[in-house]
Amino acid sequence: MPKCKNCHKNITKFDKERCPYCGCLNPLEGHNYETSDITQTIDILSNKEEVKFVQHKKLTNNILMMFLGIFGADLFYLGFYKSALIRLAINIVVYGILFVTFYFTNIFSIYSLLLSLIIPFGILFVVYFILGIISFSIKSKKDSNGVFLK
């Protein structure tokens, strides 16, 4: 599209007499608008919106997996929200099963309630801590956008 000689906004060839944006007279003066209709120019300076993309870090992801993997924090960090919620639900069920198992096997113990709360959490913590250490060796880990972790 042709541009106004004064304000440099895109106008049509029907705006020969007056620019609809700045109001200058004869905005197409000295401009060959027949060829401008079929060729459109892209002004790269007018696009001021920049998308700042931050690449996720592998170290942060692994530390989140080691210490908060029970809650799916590493998956939330990478943008896999559905998988993180599924992991959280599975861990709640596993924690409940382990709690019931340890609570009813230590029925005569004074500390059975306390131990049956701590031991399942400790088991899940150790499992995700080991998985976090193992995930340091994975080279091709990607986030939800398909970008490799740095």
Range with lowest mean pLDDT among 25-34, 109-118, 125-134: 25-34
pLDDT band at 104 (very low <50, low <70, confident <90, very high): confident
pLDDT recorded at residue 78: 94
φ/ψ region of 142 (left if φ > 0, alpha if ψ in -120 to 50, else beta) reads beta
The per-residue pLDDT for range 75-91, each reduced to its tens digit, is 999 999 999 999 999 99
* Boundaries of every domain in the chain: 1-48, 58-137
C-alpha of 125 from chain center: 26
The per-residue pLDDT for range 19-52, each reduced to its tens digit, is 887 777 777 776 555 555 555 556 666 655 555 6
Between vectors from CA 48 to CA 47 and to CA 50, what angle results, nearest 5°? 105
The pTM for the full model equals: 0.62
- DSSP H helical segments within the chain, as ranges? 33-36, 58-68, 73-78, 81-105, 112-134
